[in-house]
Structure 1
């Protein structure tokens, strides 16, 4: 059984896990919406107040078999990539309601390290060789992200709609094959639902969304629209501990375009499955929610295949109306 105090420790989990990474297809093999960012309690909106969540994201992947990937205005062959990124997020849930829904506003400023190596870089398919055994690393700040959510609940059922905007003012490394910033506007819209039964401690969550990308003016490359679905099934064993399965599916539904899209439409696809463990506790009177998620990718197409780990810590900074929710 989950007590209301334990359920409150979840806070922002479903509302504000936004960070960039190597986890999507398209230009640079990356997208500003990070697959696996949603999980348990994905559609539960916290009560009015201000919340903080920090997500540490660790990724390692490769694109073997001599396959090509558009990166930094070039074509990279035989790509290996690693990243350690941090995404601090603030969420403000307003006391006012709109159409019976809680309203939340979020902001994230990601930063971190990325390392990429390639067997070759080319000017384009069949073009000249720019370099062999290329390696590039960067530690810098990414594009800020702002978001908004509307969340409802009825008994054990919670549902939510939201949007996330990528603002292209991060430190973009023009012409390099490692980048944390994306240098283009983008928007993601999504809808999610969570069934959380506190009497048996079972949480079933799912989120579906679509990412829309503007053109990168430095590379004349526009990534196509990207469809993503994330799910989680978690059992709470007591007030502090839960464990379960997580996964996602990704499919690019329209092709890449622009003068820089020398590989054609380059539609990407990926699936992943993994596991999660959550632990909730208190520091004094402050509830703290922690979670680890691991994902292993399979069935990839036109993107690197890899493994990723999320380490998440969530706390309330101020609560207008003390209530309790479950942790992601």
Structure 2
């Protein structure tokens, strides 16, 4: 019984293809202001969490995630939004005193299929994440711009919101198990089909394609109930054809640690680190390289339960952000519900266990 529950267990957390955006949630918050161009990045920190690298039960699974974020920014991170919507001429010398606030409420859907036949000795899974939701942003403050001997100062505010669909985020993962040690490689990306306008403060698409790849590790001791996971990756961003702006290369690390209190319930911590490692191209001179950074940490709780002959999973986690640079920061929460196949006890062994995050 314990093996069966643990096996099915954290497959559902991955929101993303693993979202890997398995929920992964994939960087969907351009409108909610995240990083890189105008403070918006493809990668959404927190997409991976506990049990990220553990194998899953073969077959179809579905994860649904409600994601909420509230962030704010000052200085360059706020100015980047005003530049994005074309309110600061590229030739202007600018003095900024701006404040950006942004929020988003998103529903993410992630169907995933896990193959029973091994690939390169590991377990292959493919999936895609789509989203629907609302994003809003407002910008207020004072801007002084000078072109040659002429200078103007403007004080005021403006904002907008959007309710629509976002980009699509396909993902593929390969996972290997060796007792309490689990390993994973993944590749994912952004198909820019979501609602996006370069003249809007709030968007649900990012306006350009991206590809992201990396790997992860999970230590999972079922007898003691201990678990720790970490997933790291790099994002290459393609040029935004509407703005001729190209984000630099981004590095990200998501991690989670948990302790099982029973066969059905666990608690723990989650966190992430995001750091842009190369400069943006096409940015306003006032922004410089505009490399962004943010750290986040917070609590999590998970609950496993049967749904007919399927395995149900419910997880709530939240992050408080700090040490942000050239990027809005604040807090975000993820509420995940997923259903996946229940592992047959008759076919499960300690080395063939299929569990996921």
Confirm or deny a common fold (TM above 0.5): yes
Partner of 2:92: none
Larger Rg: 2
Partner of 1:98: 119
Partner of 1:80: 101
Q: CA deviation at 1:73?
A: 3.9
Deviation by residue 1:212-242 (Cα, 9 ceiling, x = unmatched): 1011111111111110111111000101110
The alignment's TM-score, normalised by the length of structure 1, stands at 0.91
Partner of 2:8: 8
The answer to whether the 8 Å contact 1:60/1:81 transfers is yes
CA distance in 2, matches of 1:90, 1:296: 28
Find the partner of 2:68 among 51, 58, 66: 58
Query: Alignment length, in residue pairs?
Result: 328
Deviation by residue 1:291-320 (Cα, 9 ceiling, x = unmatched): 001100111111112000000011126989
Deviation by residue 1:135-186 (Cα, 9 ceiling, x = unmatched): 1111111111111111111111111000111011112123101011011110
Find the partner of 1:289 among 284, 290, 313: 313
Matches within 5 A, 1:86-165: 86-120=107-141, 132-165=156-189
Stretches of 4+ moved more than 6 A in 1?
121-131, 317-322
Q: Name the structure where helix makes up a greater proportion of residues.
A: 2
Q: Name the structure where strand makes up a greater proportion of residues.
A: 1
Partner of 1:40: 50
Partner of 1:230: 254
CA distance in 2, matches of 1:222, 1:123: 26
Superposition CA RMSD, Å:
2.7
CA distance in 2, matches of 1:84, 1:128: 37
Q: CA deviation at 1:322?
A: 7.0
Match of 1:200, SS state, is: coil
CA distance in 1, matches of 2:56, 2:159: 43
Partner of 1:31: 41
Q: Does 1:17 pair with 2:23?
A: yes
Partner of 1:302: 326
CA distance in 1, matches of 2:305, 2:100: 41
The answer to whether the 8 Å contact 1:47/1:322 transfers is no
Q: Which runs of 5+ in 2 are unaligned?
A: 89-95
The alignment's TM-score, normalised by the length of structure 2, stands at 0.84
